[in-house]
Chains A and B, each alone.
Chain A
Amino acid sequence: MDFQIAAFLAVDGIANGAIYVLIALGTVLIFSVTRVLFVPFGDIAAFSALTLAMIQLGRLPGTVLLLVLLASIALALELVSLARHRKWRAMPWAVLYYGILPTLPALAAWLLLGATLAVGWQMLLALALVLPIAPLLDRIAFRPLADASVLVLLIVSVAVHFAISGLALLFFGPEGFRTEPLTRAMFDIGGIPVGAQTVLMVAAAAAFSGLLYLYFETTISGKALRATASNRVGARIVGIRPGRTGTFAYLLASLLGGVSGLLIGPVTTLYYDSGFLIGLKAFVGAVMGGLTSYPLTALGAVVIGLLESYASFFSSQLKETLVFASLIPILIWRSVSSLQVEEEEEDIS
């Protein structure tokens, strides 16, 4: 392998890594705030790309149906639970938040069917269609189990993933899609060809990571999210509702997932079940951060991207194996370093 190839693979790996960064950050965000390891999160990314593909083909994306379905179930659950606690005054708000807001994008997609939109607007529409999915799934599947153990939540999460990818097969069919790229421009950086799409991917990952950091550090709503992750009882006794911050975490994570889907759509052919593998690789990256540290998670995701890229050069059949095998040293390292943390914590209390 000469320098040229190594550099080429590095560019490719960093581009992949950028995507994993977004998805891994979302995974950590959801996990730390809600304790749910949201397995269908990769599906959210695939959904946004496939939804965009449908819009570009002039078809009504199945996501519209999914939203209406999920919103109806979530609204029904919410109204029943409000009625049980005799909170009649909260009902109009429930209708707004669970009934109207999530189905607005569906309505827009239906009205705009067949209209010619600029690529930017198509992307925005696809993103809007994908954003409410995870928060609604949270209300339906996870909120009723708020006090369950992490393991129970994980099992439910796997079940939700199977339901979602089954629906994806129904909505998008078994064939793969690619979306229109925003740009086809190529740069030449020191003799290595770099696509503008790659630059876009890296820039988006950097921008969203930066925004997330600012949000957590400077806004009270971001701090409320961290507080919920840090101590749920503590959050409740200052008046923060873990359920509500959970919804917000899902929304924010969906934004990251949705954007990453839009970014890979033009460079990878995506199928109804592609999301799972993407989500799983991002998860390996997140494990490096112990599912708590955002900077380490981002680093881990980039490493996974690079690893995948070089692995595919040496043996394309074994590339997935190599990526997942890297979990073993990561886990050993994590367990050694977390042992030290536990000892430190014992000293404090």
Chain B
Amino acid sequence: MSALLEIRDLSVSYGKVEAVRNVSLEIDEGQIVTIIGANGAGKTTMLAALMGLLPSQGRVSYQGRTLDDVDVEDRVAAGLCLVPERRELFADMSVEDNILLGGYTYRHNKALMRESFEIVYDRFPRLRERRRQVVGTLSGGERQMLAIGRALMARPRLLMLDEPSLGLAPLIVREIFRIIASLRDLGVSILLVEQNARAALETADVGYVLETGEFSLSGKASDLLHDPRVAETYLGGHT
């Protein structure tokens, strides 16, 4: 069986600067894979390239087909979705409209729309309460939930999350990771980029460590969690 997403020798450059160099990675159906790394390691760059927002070199295939010449919008329609680091919500629109637009690719299927709304609202009851509120007035945690909710609305097969715990209080971080783990039940595979290495490795099956654009380590997440090299740099030294 071929992997859901297969990346071979992916490189991404900003002009002359190569931010990501020759990385290879595989995600199987139903897997949670995490990429951890310091600030500026190239995590966001890599996700943007996988989404088609940045040009890249190398081979990327999704569901067995190459993604060359497939634009962002068609990737979304094929179930490849991104929760970007900057969230990119529609700030002057309501919570409900933001979620609604998550389902833009199948907008003519009203029944599926209703079903997806229920899936999102069941996972994020807070969003249901605030559905009429303008997004610009949401709290940071609520925005983060909305960004994930909007991406879920697109009915992803592979969801890429860029630092979902960014700037959130510990209690909400735990809640967000619980929800991420529960997405597996929906048949969603996940590529999770995180600064919060411990929580990410506890949630994921497989982990990769990105250092200045290259993978320096990879392996089962539970092994990485106990790897002294990871512990020292990313888990704050003590385990």
Contacts and interface: CB of A to CB of B under 8 A. Distances in A.
Given A220-B104, A238-B150, A231 B81 contact: no
Contacts of A237: 51, 53, 72, 76, 81-82, 84, 88, 151
A238 B136 contact: no
Which bucket holds chain B's interface residue count? 20 to 34
B239 to A, nearest CB: 35
Nearest to A230: B90
Contacts of B154: 238-239
A234 interface: yes
Interface string B134-153: 00100000000000001100
Contacts of A223: 93, 97, 100-101
21 contacts: A85-B69, A220-B101, A223-B101, A224-B104, A233-B84, A234-B88, A234-B89, A234-B90, A237-B51, A237-B72, A237-B81, A237-B82, A237-B84, A237-B88, A238-B76, A238-B101, A238-B150, A238-B154, A239-B73, A239-B77, A348-B136
Interface in A226-246: 226-227, 230-231, 233-241
Given A220-B107, A230-B90, A348-B136, A236 B101 contact: no
A335 B72 CA distance: 37
Nearest to A217: B97
Contacts of B53: 233, 236-237
Given A238-B101, A239-B154, A240-B104, A230 B93 contact: yes
B122 interface: no
B169 to A, nearest CB: 17
A88 to B, nearest CB: 11
Interface residues of A, number: 20
Contacts of A184: none
Interface of B: 51, 53, 69, 72-73, 76-77, 81-82, 84, 86-93, 97, 100-102, 104-105, 107, 136, 150-151, 154
Nearest to B81: A237
Q: Is the interface of A mostly helix, strand, loop or mixed?
A: helix
A233 B53 CA distance: 8
Nearest to B74: A239
B73 A231 contact: no
Given A236-B73, A239-B77, A227 B93 contact: yes
A86 B81 CA distance: 24
Nearest to A348: B136
B101 A227 contact: yes
A200 B59 CA distance: 61
A163 B88 CA distance: 37
Nearest to B94: A223
Interface in A192-242: 220, 223-224, 226-227, 230-231, 233-241
Nearest to A244: B73
